[in-house]
Amino acid sequence: MKNTEKYTRQFFEAPKTEMKWTKKSYVDKAPQWCSVDLRDGNQALIVPMSLDEKLEFFKKLVDIGFKEIEIGFPAASETEYDFCRALIEQDLIPDDVAIQVLTQSREHIIEKTFEALKGCKNAIVHLYNSTSLAQREQVFRKNKEEIKEIAVSGAKLCKEYREKYEGNFRFEYSPESFTGTEPEYALEVCNAVLDVWKPTPDDKVIINLPVTVQLSMPHVYANQIEYMCDNLKYRENVIVSLHPHNDRGCAVADTEMGLLAGADRVEGTLFGNGERTGNVDIIVLAMNMYSQGVDPKLDFSDIPDIAEMYSRVTRMNIYERQPYSGQLVFAAFSGSHQDAIAKGMKWRQEKNSPIWNVPYLPIDPADIGREYSADVIRINSQSGKGGIGYILETRFGYNLPKKMREKVGYMVKSVSDHAHKELLPDEVYTVFKQYFVDITTPIQLQETHFVQRNGIEASVVFDYDGRRVTASDTGNGRLDAVSNAIRSYTGSDFNISTYTEHALEVGSASKAVSYVEIVDGSGNSFWGTGIDNDIITSSVKALISAVNNMLKEKVQNK
């Protein structure tokens, strides 16, 4: 690519740290979570949410289990202000939930913010100002001392106004553009703010270290977080918070490494919605912990319901391959994947295993409200016999013999290929029935009779070539006798190769299903399936279905 010389690394390495976080292999406990869907997520929308939509979203966040929810910038607009007042005046905030509001370090904005919060049982006032080199030089044209003074004066004003207004208020400070700020200077500013607020065990302060713009690889951010955690004043009374954006596509990695490096709290959004490339996706973070056996303390057991609400009120789409949430993230079209999943599911059932370790599925889809047959095994021209057999067994109750699964698989894939589309489970079942179940042409069974005479003698009444005929022969069993009778009458050369049966448990437990494979004189295999209340009749139907498939192919090949 051209113009690479115009770009340079804009991040600042942290002073030497021990990199203690590299000794850990996973996040072993849930952080404090703060949803910023109603602020970051809302300001990122082409059409911001209405008051009613924000109220619905807030209630959903409470149901999920968020204890801290940033609701907006009440001094910025009438809608934001009214939303804050509606939550307080309508008593919609549970006693164990704190709302969070954002404010710049300007007195009239801070005053309006506290007015909006008047009477709130639990609120976090989130003060911020930008500290990065680029912002200092280009936007504010101020030196380090002047920028630090903006933060300190804002902290003092917040402290003053807290005394003037009724309510329970905590404080948060963000050095915006932290990742573009020299770590030593970010520490100096944060410590100056802490010296104003003087946090205590009963009045802890949040220091939020945002990845306002991603400028480096995640390990650089982790080192910056470890440096801050090791050097912040009042550390035992400071909650270190992360707020990663996703410019380089590393928001989840930034957050997980930042937690390993000592952070206590995460600000993010459902599905990663936010300006530019978005905020960190809290669902992904929480489910990553869940997949490692760690309770994230958030309830995502019905992601489809959450996704429906989110898409409706934000008018945003969720990418089909978005981890955990996308419609296709558990879908396996590949034959080898389908086969491994189906076998893995069967193994768990056989072993009654309490541990989830099914190939290709990092978590059990059912744990987040997804269905196996609809969401996991998806059928198209790339699919294999394992997945098709899995759908027919789990959705419709047909446990096809292994060799028959291959035959049915080729037929279903051929239909999908010619239609150039995915086949839904009901369409897979339709193909199976059309080509293999109770096939009635050219031979249509009417009735069979058996007598014990030199083994078993069968008399088979059926329609063939426009005539009703009766064919009789003997065999060492009922199915063998019927096979001999049909073979002798039609002059066909075939032998029964495979026969299995089982109760059809889906739909009606009183019915039996039989599967028959015949092999003709040239070694070609043909399958048929029969269903009936009587097991003998179902086996005869299966045989005739196989014979009909053989006879049809011979006509087609002439």
CATH for 73: 3.20.20.70
User: Where does the pLDDT of residue 385 fall: very low under 50, low under 70, confident under 90, or very high at 90 and above?
Assistant: low
Mean pLDDT of the chain: 92
Structure tokens at 505: 């448990």
What gap in Å lies between CA 393 and CA 397, rounded to an integer? 4
**466 and 400 assigned to the same domain:** no
User: Where does the pLDDT of residue 378 fall: very low under 50, low under 70, confident under 90, or very high at 90 and above?
Assistant: low
- Residue 163 included in any domain: yes
Half-sphere exposure of 357 (CA within 13 A, CB side): 6
**149 and 244 assigned to the same domain:** yes
- Residue 16 included in any domain: no
Residue 403 has pLDDT above 80, yes or no: yes
What gap in Å lies between CA 148 and CA 134, rounded to an integer? 15
- Residue 12 included in any domain: no
**418 and 451 assigned to the same domain:** no
- Residue 91 included in any domain: yes
What gap in Å lies between CA 554 and CA 360, rounded to an integer? 42
Structure tokens at 323: 């981890």
Q: What percent of the chain has pLDDT over 90?
A: 78
Q: Residue 69 to residues 37, 40, 87, 114, 132: CA-CA distances in angstroms?
A: 8, 11, 12, 17, 26
Q: How confident is the model over 338-368, as pLDDT tens digits?
A: 788 888 988 998 999 999 999 989 999 999 9
Q: Which of 105-109, 278-282, 350-354, 507-511 has the lowest mean pLDDT?
A: 507-511
Q: Residue 24 to residues 219, 229, 241, 421: CA-CA distances in angstroms?
A: 13, 16, 19, 46
**272 and 171 assigned to the same domain:** yes
User: Where does the pLDDT of residue 370 fall: very low under 50, low under 70, confident under 90, or very high at 90 and above?
Assistant: confident
Residue 289 has pLDDT above 80, yes or no: yes
Q: Which of 71-80, 172-181, 196-205 has the lowest mean pLDDT?
A: 71-80
User: Where does the pLDDT of residue 374 fall: very low under 50, low under 70, confident under 90, or very high at 90 and above?
Assistant: low
- CA–chain centroid gap for 320, Å, is 9
**356 and 494 assigned to the same domain:** no
CA angle 112, 117, 122 (to 5 degrees): 150
User: Where does the pLDDT of residue 389 fall: very low under 50, low under 70, confident under 90, or very high at 90 and above?
Assistant: confident
What gap in Å lies between CA 126 and CA 100, rounded to an integer? 7
CA angle 200, 203, 205 (to 5 degrees): 90
**238 and 196 assigned to the same domain:** yes
- If you write DSSP's letter for every residue of 290-335 in order, what string do you get? HTTT---SS--TTHHHHHHHHHHHH--PPPTTSTTTSTTTT-B-SH
Residue 393 has pLDDT above 90, yes or no: no
**180 and 51 assigned to the same domain:** yes
**415 and 451 assigned to the same domain:** no
Residue 386 has pLDDT above 80, yes or no: no
Q: How confident is the model over 173-200, as pLDDT tens digits?
A: 999 999 999 999 999 999 999 999 999 9
pLDDT at 384: 61
**43 and 142 assigned to the same domain:** yes
**127 and 271 assigned to the same domain:** yes
Q: Which of 64-68, 253-257, 263-267, 372-376 has the lowest mean pLDDT?
A: 372-376
What domain count does the chain have?
Answer: 3
- Residue 63 included in any domain: yes
Q: Which of 205-219, 293-307, 414-428, 454-468 has the lowest mean pLDDT?
A: 414-428
What gap in Å lies between CA 319 and CA 52, rounded to an integer? 26
User: Where does the pLDDT of residue 412 fall: very low under 50, low under 70, confident under 90, or very high at 90 and above?
Assistant: confident
Residue 523 has pLDDT above 60, yes or no: yes
Q: What percent of the chain has pLDDT over 70?
A: 96
CATH number at residue 471: 3.30.160.270
- Residue 502 included in any domain: yes
What gap in Å lies between CA 300 and CA 420, rounded to an integer? 35
pLDDT at 74: 94
Q: Which residues pair with 208 in a beta bridge?
A: 241
**87 and 132 assigned to the same domain:** yes
Range of the domain at 65: 27-300
- If you write DSSP's letter for every residue of 239-283 in order, what string do you get? EEEEEEB-TTS-HHHHHHHHHHTT--EEEEBGGG--STT-B-BHH
pLDDT at 28: 95
Residue 129 has pLDDT above 90, yes or no: yes
Structure tokens at 13: 């390495």
In this structure, are residues 245 and 214 in contact, taking their beta carbons and an 8 Å threshold? yes
In this structure, are residues 302 and 345 in contact, taking their beta carbons and an 8 Å threshold? no
- Last residue within a domain, chosen from 363, 390, 422: 422
5 versus 508: the higher-pLDDT residue is: 5
β strands within 109-264, DSSP E:
120-130, 167-176, 205-211, 238-244
Sequence letter at residue 416: S
- Residue 3 included in any domain: no
Q: How confident is the model over 461-512, as pLDDT tens digits?
A: 999 988 999 999 999 999 999 999 999 999 999 999 999 999 886 555 578 9
Q: φ, ψ for residue 267 (rounded to 5)?
A: -105, 130
pLDDT at 341: 84
Name residues whose C-beta falls within 8 Å of residue 499's C-beta, 6 or more positions apart in sequence: 479, 514, 515, 516, 517, 539, 542
pLDDT at 380: 63
**86 and 142 assigned to the same domain:** yes
- Residue 43 included in any domain: yes
Residue 443, SS3 per DSSP:
coil
